[in-house]
Homo-oligomer: A and B are copies of this chain.
């Protein structure tokens, strides 16, 4: 066994621990939000000390940024894996369903940007913004095609549809239904999709 294997082994363990840290960050973040999440929370959830945590991520901002980048990677991967015979709206529906299921299983919402300072923090994160823009280009194309094909309301500005779509991925109604109704995950997802595309009427 050469020194390279040894290094690679160490590297692998390092990556594994980073993955565990990001998992813990995701859990804490989804339950308490950015402002109330402390580095002690994360370190405690992983089972390491705070200085060890700082060896992996040099700040709270970077840690959260990486967790969100991983989420975006998941979304981009999901889109890339979609059956290309789906029409634009079917793709949007599939992605929304994916995002809602991620959230219902304890993951993060897209657009954690309810709070303006978190949004500003993320906009300074170049790596994150690159992925957001990539995702946005694809979704904007879907919306425009959907409108041209008469599958989405062409009377609405594209902006309005796109922002409203993003908003549905983090719709607080999901948490309220999960907490206060007896509905199953599947029912919640099905209903949220109907509300999104068909409205309340």
Counted per complex, copies of this chain come to 2
Q: A153 to B35, Cβ gap below 8 A? A: no
Residue of B31, B160, B192 near A173 (CB, 8 A) is: B160
Band of interface residues on A: 35 or more
Shortest C-beta distance, A125 to chain B (Å), equals: 18
Shortest C-beta distance, A184 to chain B (Å), equals: 12
> Beyond A35-B36, A176-B163, is A156–B200 a contact (Cβ under 8 Å)?
yes
Binary flags per residue of A156-191, CB closer than 8 Å to B gives 1, else 0 = 110111011111001111001100110100000001
Residue of B153, B172, B183, B192 near A198 (CB, 8 A) is: B153
Residue of B157, B165, B166, B201 near A183 (CB, 8 A) is: B157
Shortest C-beta distance, A37 to chain B (Å), equals: 11
